[in-house]
């Protein structure tokens, strides 16, 4: 009989614990806002209960974003003063397991250790989050029609982003206004509606009614190296064409543009909003590059105030529509959570079902827009496709740059997650190619060595490591040019003809931690192992494409490993034994058959056959030698 602690599935809060958590969150919210008021308006003279409801909603949206320490550092790197803090030396990957925005929970603070009248010591994170030094831009496609109420909700989201330092450049599209004599005046009226909605929410906005983009390819396109795998927009922008947008941004105003362009006869004509946004993405990046070149000859004064400066390089692309995210074949029409455009774009188009949308669907057109714009934008940039019903999700995306729900969570958990609705936004990244390798001879050992040693910060005994893989390797999932990898082996098991599927290594380079690579990698690992046999595992990554029977996946981790929290959320269960924690993911097809029995038996019940397999796993895995020097 095993005497070790065994846990199955996620833990469930009791009603008492949930009530206590809610009360603590309420106290934390008031303390949080009181701290911010003290930072921005010394001395604080306004009670929290007297705040404007819009301010309450804004701060609550910040709290719901629940950023990790890495998320917050990334935000401050883009917008604010970099606080002096020791470099985080932990992690092999995910950012979600790091310290949250607030260094300590309310229950972790000892009141007796602080002076009775002492004010809370403001965190540099909190003091910067509402006072950004550098403002950045976002390209926004507003795809109507929208009612006045819907437009107010969208405008509130834009104002929230502006408070956090992200200023929107909005292009308005309305397919219901097309083809008649009053088209131009109707579009201008729509622009003014958007401007009015923004101003009603407290923002300053400027209609930019002149043509900013020009039809046709750029004259010097033959001399420039275009990004691959996409068709450039049917319009272009010269740096001088951005004068009106620059002027609005420097004046603290949100520019709002119609989808107009200047044709070869110098006439202002209507074109698709996607072509306008694609041209702006390219043109703003090129203009920012020229600005950087100009600055090299005259460096800035490090003591000067540049709070009014705008970085023209778009940090985000936001597509706001009535439809929301891209429907997914893996979730019966519910949205994709995270899309790797490099490896998934073609397959999503091929498997798309128009019946998933009740309205005139433009998901594929917007998917193409995201690929075009992100090809010009920096690799760290992302796009989000969101419904007008989810303005607060824009804040979470800005601060964390992550999907609303992690795509690497167990599929059954995602299906039952209340956060996953038809309005759940889709996050899109340029991403990386994913490949599955089944022969050790095809593995680039030099790059693999660098990945493992850099990620784990240890020296690999390469000879011993690869000698073992020659005998046991099942497959390797590689992300990009070895920026991430998952190595799975077949470990021989006594008294069983079926070997144990063992996750030997899972690593992502520090430079790619927090950019979605870990989720892309884990999803591919799922599709090749415990998720086999399901339709949602059919992905063209060079692997089995969903064909076959899933197998239980097992791995081990030191009990003090900070990434264990991330493992807990993705495993079917875990078992503590000495200084190790063993995790496993049940083959999902078999797990569905067993769900009824497990539910009736209770969480503490371990069937005899399961106890046998756990003992078998433990006997084999504890004997696997270390490959670190």
Query: What is the percentage of the chain residues whose pLDDT exceeds 70?
Result: 66
Alpha-carbon span 502 to 488, nearest angstrom: 5
Alpha-carbon span 530 to 551, nearest angstrom: 5
Q: Is 599 exposed, middle or buried (0-12, 13-18, 19+ CB in 10 A)?
A: exposed
Q: Which one of 36-45, 239-248, 299-308 scores highest in mean pLDDT?
A: 239-248
Confidence of residue 596 (pLDDT cuts 50, 70, 90): low
What pLDDT does residue 455 have? 92
Query: What is the percentage of the chain residues whose pLDDT exceeds 90?
Result: 33
How many Å separate Cα 85 from the centre of its chain?
Answer: 24
491 bridge partner residues:
500
User: What is the average per-residue pLDDT within 269-298?
Assistant: 84
Task: Give the pLDDT confidence of 346-361 residue by residue, as tens digits.
Answer: 888 888 877 776 555 6
How many Å separate Cα 373 from the centre of its chain?
Answer: 17
What pLDDT does residue 308 have? 54
**Least confident piece of the model among 60-74, 153-167, 338-352, 590-604:** 590-604
Asked if the model's pLDDT at residue 273 lies above 70, the reply is yes
Task: Give the pLDDT confidence of 116-142 residue by residue, as tens digits.
Answer: 344 444 444 444 455 555 788 999 999
Q: Please provide the distance, in angstroms rounded to a whole number, between the alpha carbons at the two ends of the chain.
A: 35
Confidence of residue 437 (pLDDT cuts 50, 70, 90): very high
User: What is the average per-residue pLDDT within 567-580?
Assistant: 86
C-alpha distances out from residue 414 to 93, 355, 409, 524, Å: 21, 22, 7, 16
Closest Cα to residue 74, out of 487, 516, 521?
A: 516
Confidence of residue 450 (pLDDT cuts 50, 70, 90): very high
Q: 311 or 3, which is more confident? A: 311
Q: Tell me the two tokens of residue 202.
A: 């407290």
User: What is the average per-residue pLDDT within 255-263?
Assistant: 94
Strands 580-585 and 553-558 turn out to be antiparallel
What pLDDT does residue 297 have? 55
User: What is the average per-residue pLDDT within 38-58?
Assistant: 49
Asked if the model's pLDDT at residue 623 lies above 60, the reply is yes
Q: Tell me the two tokens of residue 158.
A: 């834009």
For tokens 């690579």, the residue is: 517
Asked if the model's pLDDT at residue 69 lies above 80, the reply is no
| SS3 sequence of 60-126 | HHHHHHCCEHHHHHHHHHHHCCCCCCCCCCCCCCCHHHCCECCCCCHHHCCHHHCCCCCCCCCCHHH
Alpha-carbon span 398 to 256, nearest angstrom: 20
Task: Give the pLDDT confidence of 360-392 residue by residue, as tens digits.
Answer: 568 889 999 999 999 999 988 999 999 887 766
Q: Tell me the two tokens of residue 208.
A: 């930019």
User: What is the average per-residue pLDDT within 56-83?
Assistant: 66
* DSSP track, 286-305: HHHHHHHHHHHHSPPPTTS-
For tokens 């020009």, the residue is: 214
Q: 486 or 531, which is more confident? A: 486
Confidence of residue 206 (pLDDT cuts 50, 70, 90): very high
Task: Give the pLDDT confidence of 388-415 residue by residue, as tens digits.
Answer: 877 667 777 777 777 777 766 766 556 5
Asked if the model's pLDDT at residue 188 lies above 60, the reply is yes
What pLDDT does residue 617 have? 87
User: What is the average per-residue pLDDT within 499-525?
Assistant: 90
Asked if the model's pLDDT at residue 1 lies above 50, the reply is no
What pLDDT does residue 218 have? 74
Is pTM, for the whole model, over 0.75?
A: yes
Q: Is 286 exposed, middle or buried (0-12, 13-18, 19+ CB in 10 A)?
A: buried
Q: 74 or 28, which is more confident? A: 74
Alpha-carbon span 476 to 487, nearest angstrom: 5
Residues 123-158: b if buried by 16+ CB within 10 A, e if exposed: bebbbbbbbbeebbbbbbbbbbebeeebbbbbbbbb
For tokens 């128009």, the residue is: 354
What pLDDT does residue 11 have? 36
Contacts 24+ apart (CB under 8 A), 415-420: 415/331, 420/331, 420/334, 420/337
CB 391 within 8 A of CB 154: yes
Q: Is 257 exposed, middle or buried (0-12, 13-18, 19+ CB in 10 A)?
A: buried
Residue 63 neighbours by CB distance under 10 Å: 15
What pLDDT does residue 483 have? 96
CB 171 within 8 A of CB 141: yes
Alpha-carbon span 405 to 409, nearest angstrom: 8
């Amino acid at each position: 009989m095993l005497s070790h602690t065994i846990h199955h599935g996620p833990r469930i809060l009791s009603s008492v614990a949930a009530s206590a958590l809610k009360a603590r969150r309420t106290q934390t919210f008031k303390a949080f806002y009181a701290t911010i008021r003290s930072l921005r308006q010394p001395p604080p003279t306004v009670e929290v209960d007297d705040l404007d409801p819009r301010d309450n909603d804004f701060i609550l949206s910040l709290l719901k974003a629940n950023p990790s320490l890495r998320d917050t550092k990334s935000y401050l790197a883009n917008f604010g003063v970099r606080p002096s803090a020791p470099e985080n030396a932990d992690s092999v990957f995910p950012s979600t397991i790091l310290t949250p925005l607030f260094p300590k929970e309310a229950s972790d603070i000892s009141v007796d250790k602080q002076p009775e009248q002492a004010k809370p010591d403001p965190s540099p994170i909190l003091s910067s989050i509402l006072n950004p030094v550098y403002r950045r831009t976002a390209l926004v496609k507003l795809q109507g029609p929208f009612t006045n109420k819907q437009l107010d909700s969208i405008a509130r989201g834009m104002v929230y982003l502006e408070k956090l330092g992200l200023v929107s450049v909005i292009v308005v599209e309305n397919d219901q206004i097309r083809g008649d004599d009053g088209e131009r005046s109707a579009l201008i009226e729509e622009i003014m509606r958007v401007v009015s909605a923004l101003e009603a929410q407290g923002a300053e906005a400027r209609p930019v009614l002149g043509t900013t983009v020009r039809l046709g390819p750029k004259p010097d396109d033959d001399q420039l190296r275009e990004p691959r795998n996409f068709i450039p927009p049917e319009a272009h922008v010269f740096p001088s064409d951005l004068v009106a947008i620059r002027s609005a941004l420097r004046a603290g105003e949100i520019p709002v543009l119609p989808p107009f362009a200047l044709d070869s006869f110098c006439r202002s004509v209507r074109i698709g909003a996607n072509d306008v946004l694609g041209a702006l993405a390219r043109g703003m990046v090129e203009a920012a590059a020229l600005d950087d070149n100009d600055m090299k000859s005259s460096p800035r004064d490090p003591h000067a105030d540049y709070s009014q400066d705008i970085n023209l390089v778009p940090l985000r692309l936001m597509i706001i529509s009535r439809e929301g995210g891209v429907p997914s074949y893996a979730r019966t029409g519910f949205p994709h959570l995270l899309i790797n455009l490099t490896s998934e774009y073609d397959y999503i188009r091929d498997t798309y079902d128009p019946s998933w949308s009740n309205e005139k669907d433009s998901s594929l057109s917007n998917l193409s827009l995201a690929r075009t714009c992100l090809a010009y934008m920096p690799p760290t940039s992302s796009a989000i496709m969101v419904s007008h019903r989810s303005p607060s999700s824009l804040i979470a995306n800005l601060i964390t740059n992550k999907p609303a729900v992690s795509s690497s969570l167990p599929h059954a958990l995602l299906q039952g997650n209340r956060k996953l609705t038809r309005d759940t936004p889709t996050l899109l990244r340029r991403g990386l190619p994913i490949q599955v390798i089944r022969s050790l001879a095809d593995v680039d050992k030099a790059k693999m060595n660098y990945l493992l040693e850099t990620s784990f910060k240890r020296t690999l005994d390469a000879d011993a490591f690869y000698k073992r893989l020659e005998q046991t390797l099942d497959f390797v999932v590689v992300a990009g040019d070895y920026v991430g990898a998952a190595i799975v082996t077949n470990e021989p098991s006594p008294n069983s003809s079926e070997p144990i599927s063992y996750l030997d290594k899972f690593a992502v380079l520090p430079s790619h931690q927090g950019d979605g690579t870990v989720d892309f990698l884990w999803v591919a690992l799922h599709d090749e192992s415990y998720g086999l046999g399901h339709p949602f595992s059919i992905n063209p990554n060079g692997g089995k494409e969903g064909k076959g029977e899933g197998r239980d996946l097992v791995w081990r981790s030191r009990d003090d490993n900070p990434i264990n929290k991330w493992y807990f959320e993705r495993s079917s269960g875990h078992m503590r034994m000495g200084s190790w924690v063993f995790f496993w993911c049940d083959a999902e097809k078999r797990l569905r058959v067993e769900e009824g029995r497990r539910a009736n038996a209770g969480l503490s019940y371990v069937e005899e056959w399961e106890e046998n397999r756990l003992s078998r796993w433990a006997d084999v895995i504890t004997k696997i030698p270390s490959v670190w020097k």
